[in-house]
Chain A
Amino acid sequence: MEFIFGQLAGFGMAFATLVSDPWTYVYLITSVFLGITFGALPGLTATLAVTILTGFFGNKIPLDYALIALLGAYVGAIYGGSYPSILLNIPGTAASAATAMDGYPLAKQGRGAEALGLTTTASFIGTLVGTAALLIFVWVLLLISKNIASPEKALLALFGILLSGTLMSADLAIKGWIAGLIGLALAMVGMDPILSEARYTFGWSYLLSGIAVVPVLMGAFAVPQIIEGMRHVRAGRVAELNGRILPNMTAMRRYLPTIGRSGVIGTGVGALPGVGEDVAGWVSYGVGKSVSEEGDSFGKGSLEGLLCSETANNACIGGALIPLLVLGIPGSPPAAALMGAFKINNVIPGPTIDPEIILRVVAIMVLASFTMFVMGLFTARIFIKVLRIPQTVFLPLVMVLTTIGSFSVGGGLNDLYLMLGVGLVAYVMNLLCYPIAPLVIGVILGGMFDETFRRSLLLSDGDLSVFVSRPGAALLLTLIIALILGQMPGAKRAIRRLKGRTT
């Protein structure tokens, strides 16, 4: 009880500090607005919103304000994706793909305003659920993480990359692992962290300091999006919107258990390393369909289906921040961009993170969700107008934004060359169905994996049993082996047989 009161008091202080600073509102309103706009424009994603703002705000304003801008954009963009899903049947972000299943049929029935009112409320509640989980579990995990040493850190980084590769791959899991390994390999470029030996620099002095995270993020997420948007022009007709956008309180009360369940699912999926809001939305939608009495109406304009995906994808944000803040492992692709902002500010998320930062993040999340809720209800018509901007007009502007953002982070022209190179590779990988998120997570965690793996061996004089002799390490190694074996054809058949017997 004392712990909870202590947390609430700390949160109250951080919240009061934020609320009493006028600059908070400037950054918050601007970033949530930009976030919703990015989410609402099909072709732009939440990851891209956070990445581009990292280029702009990451190291140019104090970290406190940079966090407001980035978290505001993150919350806004995940919510904003629901607009085109409902009104155009084109998900604005991958996170809102499941929303389109019921949102668009509702809009076609003339209930678009009701659907938008519900998604606004569900996103607001979902964000708060995730934030509450963040406030509680981050401390529990921080206590546990104090006992984490190099072997556990190395295995955790590997587990995060493999899990992200497995769950984010739309085709074979092996492609996700390959993407993760490519990311890890990119992180090997430059001076090694223990002996300062130059690796794979090919005589280019820029590479001695390693591959910079922000250009990789920009290249991996922005350039493929721009090329794809220009290659395939997607046009949709905005569904007619009748009536006011208001929360349907009767429906909210009726589906309160669904909202609670989806919030928990979203937070849980978000807490898995490298697994994003899209997976959270689909998992929650799938669970909702199988346990709901109205499961048959899912996909035909079900309010419950809509609430399942929208609550979960916003709850995922809080969940994704838990491993980021506690272990330095991003829980989702936009969280990877946030990690980039931490890195360029020389803040190392992990067991040694300043507790003030965590409390501030929680306070920002609460304020951002309120701002999103108010904007969603009162300025929705503006975002609906945004849907009419063709991507062939705004994507060229995004390219210029990306270029100047990437240039000004620090590496200058070399960062731009890196961004373009990574972008073209990422585009080809997209075409070949290799997921990009594990690659980015690999780049971010590669340095930590290299350093902690070798330090473990150094401390044990090369004895590999260091990875099984500690309980935490043994558990992680078991999980890694289970994850790999679980993708073997024999294991998959056995799991299918087992499922067949239980159903």
Chain B
Amino acid sequence: MDNSPDTAAQDIARLRARDFWSALALIVLALFFLWKTLDIPLGGGNGAGVNSADWYTSAAIVPLGLFGALLVLALVLLAISIRSGGAAQALSAAGLGWSASEVWRFVAVALMLLAYIAGLVPRVDFILASALLITALIASFHGRPEPRPLLPLLAIAGAALAALTMHFPRAEWTRHGDDWVALALLVALTFWHQATGPRGTALRLTPVLAIGVPLLLICAMAFGFRQNVPNRGGLIFAKIEYGYYVHLRPIWRS
């Protein structure tokens, strides 16, 4: 790692350029929330049904102070950035200072997480959804000289889109059409990974980890801790739950 003064100075300059943008974003944010805070009654009149409410008991007083302070600090940060040459560099500096491959890697990971949380977890069986995420992330990034996240991203995004389009309303979340799509994509992705992935223990273990870990976690959560788990009516978990309560539990209950 290069720790020379020149590199440190470059890092500081890049940071100040980024500070310029973050300060502007914070100013907009602070102004927006100051404006929203004006909706909250500031004393007098009828504050939340309390006639005697005064300015100092108002629910707006602390937020006004906070967002006011945030605005001031953001302006100070903007001034620091401009004085350090951040504004001049901000317009010419290359975004966040990442290479194109790093940006692509970040976007791929972020989209995979978004597809998993927003599309798959509510609608698709948790074991299948998690297995797809684990396989996609390992297949994209583990041991390859160059990451190959495109195909895994398409697989997980495809499953999420299928879930969102086939069963968008909450009333349909227990249906299994999207589960079958996710299962098919998981099998296809696993075959692709096994065929193209780098040889080694991790490759052999990926399907075991992908299925085994979510299976263990959801069973521990549902039957060990007796907690709510995502999508109880999922393709695999519904059968496990039925088997547990109908066949297994009566054995030790009786």
**A interface residues, Cβ below 8 angstroms from B:** 56, 60-61, 171-172, 174-175, 177-178, 181-182, 184-185, 188, 192, 194-197, 199-200, 223, 226-227, 230-231, 233, 390, 392-393, 395-397, 399-401, 403-404, 407-408, 412-413, 416-417, 419-420, 423-424, 431-434, 449-450, 453-454, 457-458, 461-462
Stretch among B101-109, B161-169, B242-250 lining the A interface = B101-109
B59: chain A residues at CB < 8 Å are 192, 194-195, 197, 199
A412: chain B residues at CB < 8 Å are 228, 230
CA distance A61 to B226 in the complex (A): 10
CA distance A392 to B143 in the complex (A): 8
B73 touches A408 (CB 8 A): no
From A388, which residue of chain B is reached at the shortest CB distance? Answer: B201
B226: chain A residues at CB < 8 Å are 60
How far in angstroms is the closest Cβ of chain B from A376? 26
B137 touches A60 (CB 8 A): no
- How would residues 73 to 100 of chain B score, 1 for a CB under 8 Å from any chain A CB and 0 otherwise? 1101100100000000000000010000
CA distance A124 to B105 in the complex (A): 41
B217 touches A390 (CB 8 A): no
Taking a contact as CB atoms closer than 8 A, the residue among B47, B67, B228 that contacts A197 in the complex is B47
Taking a contact as CB atoms closer than 8 A, the residue among B73, B117, B137 that contacts A177 in the complex is B73
A404-B126, A420-B114 given; name 5 further pairs at CB < 8 Å: A61-B225, A199-B40, A231-B109, A390-B202, A461-B56
A400 touches B214 (CB 8 A): yes
A192: chain B residues at CB < 8 Å are 48, 59
B117 touches A457 (CB 8 A): no
A200 touches B36 (CB 8 A): yes
Flag whether B142 is at the interface (Cβ < 8 A). Answer: yes
How many B residues face the partner with a CB closer than 8 A? Answer: 69
Stretch among B2-10, B18-26, B174-182, B183-191 lining the A interface = B18-26
Given contacts A400-B130, A408-B221, A454-B56, whether A424 and B110 have CB atoms under 8 Å apart is: yes
A462 touches B56 (CB 8 A): yes
A417 touches B221 (CB 8 A): no
- Interface of chain A, main secondary structure: helix
From B47, which residue of chain A is reached at the shortest CB distance? Answer: A195
Q: Show 22 residue pairs from A and B whose CB-CB distance is below 8 angstroms, ordered by the A residue.
A: A174-B77, A178-B77, A195-B50, A195-B59, A227-B109, A227-B113, A230-B105, A231-B102, A390-B142, A393-B209, A395-B137, A396-B133, A396-B137, A403-B130, A403-B230, A404-B229, A408-B227, A419-B117, A420-B118, A432-B15, A432-B22, A457-B61
B58: chain A residues at CB < 8 Å are 195
CA distance A407 to B122 in the complex (A): 11
B73 touches A431 (CB 8 A): no
CA distance A195 to B47 in the complex (A): 7
B113 touches A420 (CB 8 A): yes
CA distance A182 to B147 in the complex (A): 35
B69 touches A181 (CB 8 A): yes
Given contacts A199-B59, A397-B209, whether A174 and B137 have CB atoms under 8 Å apart is: no
B57: chain A residues at CB < 8 Å are 194-195, 454, 457-458
Taking a contact as CB atoms closer than 8 A, the residue among B70, B80, B138, B229 that contacts A185 in the complex is B70
Given contacts A174-B77, A403-B117, A420-B113, whether A230 and B228 have CB atoms under 8 Å apart is: no
CA distance A352 to B231 in the complex (A): 40
CA distance A200 to B138 in the complex (A): 39
**B interface residues, Cβ below 8 angstroms from A:** 15, 18-19, 22, 26, 33, 36, 40-41, 47-48, 50, 53-59, 61-63, 66-67, 69-70, 73-74, 76-77, 80, 96, 102, 105-106, 109-110, 113-114, 116-118, 121-122, 126, 130, 133-134, 137-138, 140-143, 202, 205-206, 209, 213-214, 217-218, 221, 225-230
A400 touches B134 (CB 8 A): yes
CA distance A392 to B33 in the complex (A): 39
CA distance A184 to B73 in the complex (A): 14
Taking a contact as CB atoms closer than 8 A, the residue among A178, A233, A431 that contacts B70 in the complex is A178
From A455, which residue of chain B is reached at the shortest CB distance? Answer: B57
B40 touches A197 (CB 8 A): yes
From A442, which residue of chain B is reached at the shortest CB distance? Answer: B66
B41: chain A residues at CB < 8 Å are 197
A196 touches B218 (CB 8 A): no
A431: chain B residues at CB < 8 Å are 18, 96
From B69, which residue of chain A is reached at the shortest CB distance? Answer: A181
A174: chain B residues at CB < 8 Å are 73, 76-77, 80
Given contacts A404-B229, A433-B15, whether A420 and B70 have CB atoms under 8 Å apart is: no
Most chain B Cβ neighbours within 10 Å, of A175, A390, A396: A396
How far in angstroms is the closest Cβ of chain B from A423? 8
B56 touches A233 (CB 8 A): no
Most chain A Cβ neighbours within 10 Å, of B66, B105, B134, B213: B66
Taking a contact as CB atoms closer than 8 A, the residue among B48, B217, B225 that contacts A195 in the complex is B48
Given contacts A199-B59, A392-B142, whether A407 and B130 have CB atoms under 8 Å apart is: no
B63: chain A residues at CB < 8 Å are 185, 188, 199-200
B77 touches A175 (CB 8 A): yes
How far in angstroms is the closest Cβ of chain A from B219? 11
A419: chain B residues at CB < 8 Å are 117
B22 touches A223 (CB 8 A): no
A407 touches B230 (CB 8 A): yes
From B135, which residue of chain A is reached at the shortest CB distance? Answer: A396
A417 touches B209 (CB 8 A): no
